[in-house]
Amino acid sequence: MSLADHFYALRDWVPVPVDGVRVEIVRWVLLEANRRAVTGALLTLTFVSMLALGNVWTFEMQRLFTETDSVQTVLNSLLSGIILLVSVVVSINSIVLTYDITAISTQRERVQGTTEYRREIGQMVRSERSPTDPRSFLELMTHVMQERAEDLQETVTRDNHEEFAEAVDEFVDSLETSIRTLEDPREEVGGADFGTLWLGLEADFGRLVDELQTIRIAHAEEIPDEEKEEFDKLMEAFELFETGRQYFKTLYYSREISELSRTLLVISFPSILVTAWTIMAIDAGTIPGFGLFGLPPLQVFLATSFTISLAPYLVLTAYVLRTATVARRTAAGGPFVLD
């Protein structure tokens, strides 16, 4: 593995410049970053913000924190919220798992559907084996679509059909441009856990399908049978690609929800313990005597406790940010497209 590969392998945890110059921090937070890295960044930001507020507003914050009844009320609310949050997320995870807990007849239909889909892809590429991972699927299908588009372009006769031929040429150019947008970043996302899967989700060829249908309808009388067959082959490739792309969302949501449930369960237990211990420590008047950056021990102690108490919510925030972004950016799966 080269130095550049090691550099891009860090993309899960730190923002890596795109094209060697730009750092797309918003895209990194919403899509590319490991959700634990985003959670760590949010925890750090929360802790630093509370310390900075205490440093600027020292006496007022000290007075606020000495109001033990108010602090205990807030911590009690956070403790109840953590338990409720875990219950809700575990319930959602249970609902997702019910998809796999079905009758054997349903499981057989799924296996038969998967087998038929792989068989169609194998017949398309004249191979006995079809790709089983997103990266190979993207490489294979983009190659097939480009190859069939070129075959269509070659079969078009320009004699007395110049306008039709120009429309096909423009369509092929648009398709090749869209495919290049997938090929260019493919090597760079090798180290990112979500990168390859997102390339498949982001690769929306719906506009090109509409263009192809428009060309076919507008020039229906000019298209001979041979060219209609090439149109059908290209449309078949688009349909198989879109089917696989939509299934990428199922793979992503299943993995993301299971990761969220596991991470939340792991982090919620220490959060509950720390929050409960903080409530008891305040009630007993036993506060650790350590300071930080010249701040009083009480402010540092409560800033730490509040940050740990908010950890489950910040974990949920990190995961929902990406699932909501994916849902919004891949919503064009039907006949209508929203801006």
CA-to-CA dists, residue 225 to 163, 201, 209, 221, angstroms: 18, 34, 20, 10
Q: What is the pLDDT of residues 80-102, one digit of tens each?
A: 999 998 888 878 777 777 777 77
pLDDT in tens, the chain (339 residues): 455 555 556 777 777 765 555 667 888 888 888 899 999 999 999 999 988 887 777 666 666 666 667 788 888 899 999 999 888 887 877 777 777 777 888 888 888 888 888 888 888 877 666 777 777 888 888 888 888 888 888 887 665 577 888 888 888 888 888 888 776 555 555 445 466 667 777 777 778 888 888 888 887 777 777 778 888 888 988 888 888 888 888 888 888 888 898 899 899 999 999 999 988 888 777 776 666 666 777 788 888 999 999 999 999 999 999 998 888 877 665 555 555
Q: Is 25 helix (H, G, I), strand (E, B) or coil?
A: helix
CB–CB of 140/120 below 8 Å?
no
Question: Domains in the chain, please, with CATH?
Answer: 104-252 (1.20.120)
Q: How many CB atoms lie within 10 A of CB 42?
A: 20
39, burial (CB in 10 Å: exposed 0-12, middle 13-18, buried 19+):
buried
Q: What percent of the chain has pLDDT over 70?
A: 79
Tokens 């009388």 map to which residue? 221
pLDDT at 60: 63
Q: What confidence score (pLDDT) does residue 318 get? A: 94
Buried b / exposed e over 64-87, threshold 16 CB at 10 Å, is ebeeeeebeeebeebbeebeebbe
Greatest Cα pair distance in the chain = 94
Q: How far apart are the first and last CA of the chain?
A: 41
Q: How far apart are CA 249 and CA 247, in angstroms?
A: 5
Token output for 204: 């929306």
**pLDDT recorded at residue 270:** 93
Q: Is 319 helix (H, G, I), strand (E, B) or coil?
A: helix
E strand segments, 147-293: none
**Residue 22: strand pairing partners:** 18
Q: Look at residue 337 in the predicted model and tell me its pLDDT.
A: 59
Q: Is the CB of residue 204 less than 8 Å from the CB of residue 332?
A: yes
